[in-house]
Structure 1
Amino acid sequence: MQLLSLPFSSLATLTLAVAPVFGLPYIPKRTPSVPVKRDPWLALDTDFPDPAFLKASNGKWYAFGTIGNGLRMQVAESDNFSNWTSLNKSPMPKVAEWEQPNTILAMAPDVIQRADGKYVMYYSSPTKRDENRQCVGTGIANDPSGPYEPSDEPFACPFDQGGAIDASGFQDIDGTRYVTYKVNGNTIGKGECGNSIPPLKPTPLMLQKVREDGITPVGKPIQMIDRATSDNDGPLVEAPYIFHHAGTYFLFYSTHCYNSDQYDLRYATAANVTGPWQKDNAQLLKPGQYGLKSPGGASLRSLSKTLLGDGSLFPDGMLFHGWCHDKTERCMYAAKVRFFGNRVVVV
């Protein structure tokens, strides 16, 4: 993803009712004993771009965001996924050896927890070699909120292709770990977001297998998808995030330039994490929907499968950003989604 942040007012909680959508199964109206927010809602009314999150071993949810509010990176916590509070600290205050010295710019963090209990952060930052090209770095911490100790070398740095950003971790159902990221080709192009004037540069989303430590690559990365004029992706695709549900792999990503009115959230599907991936091209979240402005940069997690009053389960959770405060910041929004085969629906 890129810099900056989104607008919107908090959306109302709706009574539970999901009508048929695109031929999807009808879910009857019900009144659950546990209050459930409906439709995307404003989760953090402050600059908190590119949110990614996880549930830590202490039972709390932690969200991580791009530079904002005077912090190199940001972290927030929640007891219930619905209500979030910024911890007002940077989870990684230290700059790595490979980064631009004393840089305050660190973006699109994601965190996973390893089997040994330690937490691994993936993030993007300008390189010492060229401040205009970023690469993906890693850091390790004992506490989910940090501080994370950065690794001396970057995890992914295809420098000649424009660098790399937007890394996120994924653990497959067999326990194998992967990291996905974007090759940032639009940093070496021309025009809108650096890639609207020919010759256009590739901005592929890559998949890298890693060892259990979440850091050591195994083999070479493989390409999942890239921008395509025929798919109306604009100058790029970015912000990859993989989620598995009932035998189908979903690759969530954003298209167009982050500061344009066309920025949106889409997904591709596959029967195997290594592909082939098929773009749906439907906009899961698009500008103007629910009053959102340029929604994107999403991450998903399974919620705590708590039973509602009628015995049904909570949906899965999603965090994303959108412009707010007269398009001067990107606030963090939350939503709940349900999966129907190879389709995703915001509920």
Structure 2
Amino acid sequence: MVRRALLVLVLLLAGCGQDSPETTKEAPVTFTNPVFAENFPDPGALLVDGTWFAYGTNGPAGNVPVMTSPDLVHWTPAGDAMPSIGRWALPGNTWAPEVIAGGDGRYLLYYTARSAETDRQCLGVAVSDQPGGPFRDGAGKPLVCQAEEGGSIDASPYRDPDGGLWLYWKNDGNAIGQPTYLYGSKLSADGLSLSGESKRLLVNDAAWEAHVIEAPQMVRRDGRLYLFYSANAFDAEAYALGYAVCEGPLGPCRKADENPILSTSPAAAGPGHGFLVEAAGGRTWLLYHAWPPDSIGSVTPGRQLWLDEVVWEDGKPVVRGPTAEPQPMP
């Protein structure tokens, strides 16, 4: 009886430190959309020293709500990146900000606001030595203001591998019953002024785009330039995202035949105003906003922040979304 008890004890000790297959197998780390369930429309993002910064259209958090994240999934509100807008602008309509690192250690924030002179939405640029702000616009007039074309919105900066800075935006033609175009122009080296002719790159001429094309973002991938954009009414299920391939920073650009590449699903309505980012391992992801299907146009919860992977098939971006099921972390 004693020998039998000793044998059992030896076997138990031998098993210590050896986990069963069930205990050694690690569960995959996943996330589920939306990654921020409150209102955060028109996201732009920037990675600085391992921290992601996201900037959104004005709301209760301020002129330029800013959030931070270590992984693109877990976001923490971080206040107002631009407590005071330019003196040329009126408060209350500060839209679609995007930030890029300047060449002098500073950060440049491009934003939309209402011009006191023209009563149209126009573009400004503000500067800070920190990515979270405070950003300040010291100019006495907007950077771009196409009042005769309805105004200018949705500024998006892009830096080419040669160091050149470019700016893309949309004329707000739909505000006055005119066509809407996506424009591009070269920026000065300091990013504070246009240094070349503004050129029209795309117009709302596809059926799915209806009366508006907006929210441009130029991205270089494997030597090719892709101009992402959104179209249709922002507060409708028809709002969606497409892209064009461009021969150079100022075109010519050709829209993809498979557009739109992100559209309404049972889980997310009117997805768009996307911002493409590159995460660890070269994987690309799209931050964008979308409405809950039963709350389109409502203030609460508003346009929530979503994240889905973009894969590249034969040089074409394919958005895996809107995805409401658990998926691997970036």
TM-score range, shorter chain: 0.7 to 0.9
Deviation at 1:35, TM superposition (A): 4.6
Deviation at 1:216, TM superposition (A): 2.0
Contact 1:239/1:254, CA 8 A, preserved across alignment: yes
Are residues 148 and 33 of structure 1, via their aligned partners in 2, closer, same or farther at CA, if it must alter by over 3 Å?
A: farther
Are residues 339 and 273 of structure 1, via their aligned partners in 2, closer, same or farther at CA, if it must alter by over 3 Å?
A: farther
Following TM superposition, the consecutive aligned residue runs of length 4 or more in structure 1 with deviations greater than 3 angstroms are: 32-38
Matched, 1:284 2:261: yes
SS in 2 for 1:187: helix
Matched, 1:294 2:294: no
Aligned match for 1:274, one of 250, 253, 259: 250
Q: What's the TM-score once normalised by structure 1's chain length?
A: 0.79
Aligned to 1:204: 181
Contact 1:61/1:78, CA 8 A, preserved across alignment: yes
Aligned match for 1:76, one of 62, 67, 74: 67
Aligned partner letter, 2:132: S
Aligned match for 1:315, one of 262, 276, 283: 283
SS in 2 for 1:106: strand
Are residues 104 and 269 of structure 1, via their aligned partners in 2, closer, same or farther at CA, if it must alter by over 3 Å?
A: same
Matched, 1:60 2:48: no
Aligned partner letter, 2:148: D
**How far apart are the structure 2 equivalents of 1:301 and 1:175?**
19
Are residues 143 and 272 of structure 1, via their aligned partners in 2, closer, same or farther at CA, if it must alter by over 3 Å?
A: same
Root-mean-square deviation over aligned CA pairs: 2.0
Deviations 1:85-122 (A, max 9, x none): 111x111111211112xx13211000000121110000
SS in 1 for 2:93: coil
Aligned partner letter, 1:81: L
Deviation at 1:317, TM superposition (A): 2.0
Contact 2:216/2:227, CA 8 A, preserved across alignment: yes
Aligned match for 1:157, one of 135, 145, 149: 145
Aligned to 1:18: none
Deviation at 1:340, TM superposition (A): 2.8
Aligned to 1:339: 312
Deviation at 1:36, TM superposition (A): 5.9
**How far apart are the structure 2 equivalents of 1:34 and 1:243?**
34
Contact 2:63/2:85, CA 8 A, preserved across alignment: no
Aligned match for 2:36, one of 38, 44, 49: 44
Aligned partner letter, 1:337: V
SS in 2 for 1:69: coil
Aligned match for 1:304, one of 257, 267, 280: 280
Aligned partner letter, 2:285: G
Matched, 1:129 2:117: yes
Aligned to 1:181: 169
SS in 1 for 2:89: coil
**How far apart are the structure 2 equivalents of 1:120 and 1:33?**
42
Contact 1:245/1:339, CA 8 A, preserved across alignment: no
**How far apart are the structure 2 equivalents of 1:143 and 1:337?**
29
**How far apart are the structure 1 equivalents of 2:86 and 2:183?**
23
Deviations 1:140-162 (A, max 9, x none): 00111110011322111111111
% identical aligned pairs: 29
Q: What's the TM-score once normalised by structure 2's chain length?
A: 0.83
Deviation at 1:209, TM superposition (A): 0.3
Aligned to 2:85: 95
Are residues 238 and 34 of structure 1, via their aligned partners in 2, closer, same or farther at CA, if it must alter by over 3 Å?
A: farther
Whichever structure has more strand as a proportion of its residues is 2
Structure 1, unmatched stretches of 5+, are 1-31, 190-200, 306-313
Aligned partner letter, 1:98: W
Aligned to 2:328: none
